[in-house]
Structures are given as structure tokens and as C-alpha cells.
Amino acid sequence: MKAVHTELHRSHDPQFFLVRGVVKRTTEQPERADRLLKGLKDGKHQLVEPTKFGQGPRARIHSPEYLSFLSEAWDAWTALGDSGPEMIGNIHPVRHAATYPTHIVGKLGWHTADTAAPIGPGTWAAACAATDVAVTAAQMVMDGEDAVYALCRPPGHHAYRDMAGGFCFLNNSAIAAGQLRQKHERVVILDVDVHHGNGTQGIFYARPDVYTISIHADPVAYYPYVWGYAHERGEGPGLGANLNIPLAIGTGDDGYMQSLDVARKAIESFAPGALVIALGLDASEHDPLKGLAVTTPGFRRIGQAIARMGLPTVFVQEGGYLSDILGANLTSVLAGFEEAR
């Protein structure tokens, strides 16, 4: 399996992370990509540089106001003259009868769901590069590759149409699905990150053509807390095209595989032309965010189960944070896929 990657991700190096009132160094660091790259090299995957696709694929998914905000945010922030080293909102309006702001501080609050997506001088460039990685992988699959892996950083599945959050700015998995939709009438996004893919769900919630499925730690006690429950099934034309499978904190391999089988049956009923895997490796028993307890052999089983779905597949990297086992878990899931294909 080929893997798409660019070093341009390094321009995004966030520092701030607020955890239960305590400021810490974020776990979404450039070193994540280094460890994932090692996993790719250990698996002998051929690395491919992304093609620049420009704003078009991003504009299919994100609003014009949001893309304009992200592209101009840093310059407007530094022009204030008394701003900090990263952009972190101090308001988060719920938008009830609200007016879109013109001031950069207001826009920052409007376009961020939480404080976990600090914007720095290189964030826009890195986020755009990540979408190019995802779209390149999708295009390669459209052009005949059986499956391609996209090493996207920053990740994307918490990003809504017009809102960043949870380390995410542009929704790489949704953008990959949008590219696949240029060829396929129906596409599935299967999110195996430990966190619910709330941004992806929000983007497609009223659409019947992209079926969003998320297997994740139960949000009753885990981020994002207010999205990701089983009763969330879509709305309007998209009713029934969203499936959430929340798992008890600490669920291990066998429980995870049972949920993946539920997802498989739903995917077969939907009969898509292609599959996007929002590949979070943070379901690992060794991940620092500790929600689930999937082992390295368990990730191999996950890869095998995905392969048996028999669909053209784009793997888009989402979470998976600094642990000694991160690269090995990536090697394992891709090897499992290749074995069972």
C-alpha cells in the first residue's frame, strides 16, 4: 500500500492544551508524524508526495467564511499588537440569534468549538497541506489503487463545516469523501478514532450520500461529551445515514471487533462505492489519552476486518498520540489490511 506524506505539517507546532483547568503541552505534536513515518518504513510502504489541489476540495466541505477566517487569522491576530503567541478563543458563542462578528477576537470564538485548536503562524499552511495529502490519496484510489494511506497532520475529524476544535481545523476525512463523491454515488466514512468524529457527523448529518459511522469511547465521560450518542442518526434526507457506536471506557480487542462487525453490516446495507477510514490509533491501550484498550495485535484484526469489506479504501490519519507503540500500531493495522485483501 502506498502512503502519502509531506513535511509541510511541521509548520503547525501548537503548545497550549487545557485539561481540567490545567495548561499542558498539547499531545498533537510534530513528533507524532515522525513516529507514524517509522511505522510506514517498518511496513515497507512507498512514500508519495501530495499533489496541490488548491481550495476546490476544501470548499466542497467548508464554508467560505470559515476558509477566509483561517487563511487571514494569523495576520489579523498579530496586527492587534498585544496578542499572545497562539490564537485561543476567549468566547465561544452558541449562535442563538447571533450576528457574525467582524473583529478577529469575535471571529476566533465563532469559529472554534473549544480551546484545543490553537492557531499559530503555520497552522493554515499545515492544514492545507494535510487536505492535499488526503485528496491525493483519494484520487489515487479513484485512479485504480486498491487502497492508499494518507498521513494527515493536523488531524481533521472534529472540524465542522465552519468550526475548528479538538486539534482539528480542516476535515481531511470529509474532504477525502468529497473527492471520492466525484466518482462514486455513495461513500462511507468509518471513524475508528477513540473520540467521536463529531465534525464529520455534523458536516454530513442531513446528507444521504455519505454514511458516517463512528466507533468511539462513550461520550458520557469522554471528549466531545455532547456529541456521539447512539440516538444521533441524522436528520432530514440524511436520517438513518449516521451511526454511532459508543463503547465503555477501557473496551479491549474483542469488544471492539464486535462493534466493527455491526459497522460492517451497516456498510454492506448501504452498498457504497468507496470507503474512507478515519484512522485514529488513539484507541490503543498505551495512548496517553486512555479511552479504550486495543492492543497492537488488535489493530491487525481491525485492518483485516476492514479489508474483508472489499471496498476501494482511503485511510486518513486522525488521532494517535505519543507512545512507544504508535508506529507499530500503524504498521499492524496496514499489515492486517494487506494480509486479508
pLDDT at 94: 81
Q: What is the CA radius of gyration of the chain?
A: 18
Confidence at 95, pLDDT banded by 50, 70, 90? confident
Q: Which of these, 66, 90, 77, lies nearest to 18 by C-alpha position?
A: 90
pLDDT at 298: 98
Three-state secondary-structure class, residue 279: strand
Residue 276 cell numbers, joined: 474512507
Q: Which of these, 179, 192, 172, lies nearest to 257 by C-alpha position?
A: 192
∠ CA 259-261-295, nearest 5°, is 60
- Of 158, 184, 196, 286, catalytic: 158
**Helices and strands per DSSP (H, E), number in the chain:** 10, 10
Would you list the domain boundaries of the chain? 2-340
| pLDDT for residue 263 is more than 90 | yes
- pLDDT digits over 180-196, tens only? 999 999 999 999 999 99
- Write phi, then psi, for 201 (nearest 5 degrees): -60, -45
pLDDT at 97: 83
CA distance 154 to 14: 10
* Superfamily of domain 2-340, CATH level 4: Histone deacetylase domain (3.40.800.20)
pLDDT at 87: 98
| pLDDT for residue 244 is more than 90 | yes
Q: Which residue has 494569523 as its cell numbers?
A: 74
Task: Give pTM, 2 decimals.
Answer: 0.98
Is residue 158 part of the annotated active site? The answer reads yes
